[in-house]
Amino acid sequence: MSFTLKILGCSSATPTTKAHPSAQILNMEEKLFLIDCGEGTQVQLRKYKVRFSKIDHIFISHLHGDHFFGLIGLVSSFHTLNRGKDLHIYSPKGLKEIIITQLKITKTQLSYYIHFHELKGNEPILIHDDKKLTVTAIPLKHRIKTFGYLFEEKQKERKLNMDAVLNHEVEVCDYRGLKLGKDYTDNNGNVIDNSVFTSNPSAPLKYAYCSDTAYYPEITKWIKGVDLLYHESTFLDELKELAIKTGHSTVKDAVLIAKEAEAKNLLLGHFSARYPNREVFLEEAKLYFNNVEISEKGKDFIYNN
């Protein structure tokens, strides 16, 4: 099992010719999920050859412009490309009104239907559940209502040991039971432990997206043991007071969350434009946490087990 995270943008505030605001594509179980949609996201999707037609779910963290100003353009392009499939958009309350108003004023009748899922509350909410994975919205701590997202693969079935299966002449109709962990009863009535025929599957992979947020240790119990944690790190620790004032995190805040959550890997992002050299974020983080990387537009981060 594996997943790939492609960074489309990882800068805070306004876009520049070299820096794009928040947007990323998660490929998990061969499904593409768009997470945040800052200005210029569809240009980035084209630049990095991401297939528009495979995006059926969009997750917006909050309604600050650098996280959703690219959405109406993408929604309109889907229409221009004659999309027929439904689109699901998840966000705090208010985004539906914004998008519907824009479509109404421009007299645009979409070729497809949008399901708006408005998020609220102060506890995690299961918002997507299919045969292979789940997505949970996680409340964060910012100046306005904000949610992070936890993507989790479902547990795979046990793996068959075909040598043992054939040696005991197990019939095909019994394979399913073995994969589900059941013991096997042979033709003589002997019960043989399941472990003879199967082995444990790989552990399900988890990815957590946490942006924007102030330091908020409450979330660590909800994202415990994630394989990859993307956590905003707008400032270095020298601007701790500014981070508190604006509802953002420092590099050290992100590291503390990663440690408490027992995250296997940490990915920093949402960098302030005041830092032209982003390697300083990595240098500071490495003082406290080993498995850390910095986001870079166009870069793929691949995790497997």
Q: Do 55 and 192 belong to one domain?
A: no
Q: Do 281 and 182 belong to one domain?
A: no
Q: How many separate helices (H) and strands (E) can be counted in the chain? A: 8, 18
Q: Do 163 and 103 belong to one domain?
A: no
Q: Are 125 and 135 in contact (CB under 8 A)?
A: no
Per-residue pLDDT for the chain (305 aa), expressed as one digit of tens each?
A: 789 999 999 999 888 888 899 999 999 998 999 999 999 999 999 999 999 999 999 999 999 999 999 999 999 999 999 999 999 999 999 999 999 999 999 999 999 999 999 999 999 999 999 999 999 999 999 999 999 999 999 998 888 888 877 888 788 888 888 788 888 888 888 888 888 778 888 889 999 999 999 999 999 999 999 999 999 999 999 999 999 999 999 999 999 999 999 999 999 999 999 998 999 999 999 999 999 999 999 999 999 88
Q: Do 179 and 85 belong to one domain?
A: no
Q: Do 134 and 256 belong to one domain?
A: yes
> Residue 170 and residue 80: Cα distance in Å, rounded?
55
Q: Do 173 and 209 belong to one domain?
A: no
150: domain CATH number is 3.60.15.10
> Is 66 known to be catalytic?
yes
Q: Do 63 and 128 belong to one domain?
A: yes
pTM: 0.92
Q: Do 116 and 40 belong to one domain?
A: yes
Residue with tokens 């936890």: 150
Q: Do 71 and 131 belong to one domain?
A: yes
Q: Do 52 and 182 belong to one domain?
A: no
| Domain extent at residue 258 | 2-156+202-304
Q: Do 167 and 71 belong to one domain?
A: no
Answer whether the bond into residue 193 is a cis peptide, omega within 30°.
no
pLDDT value at residue 178: 75
Q: Which of 36, 56, 66, 193 is catalytic?
A: 66
pLDDT value at residue 105: 97
- The domain total for the chain is 2
- Choosing from 145, 169, 199, the residue where a domain stops is 199
β-sheet bridge partners, residue 184: 192
pLDDT value at residue 17: 80
Q: Do 248 and 230 belong to one domain?
A: yes
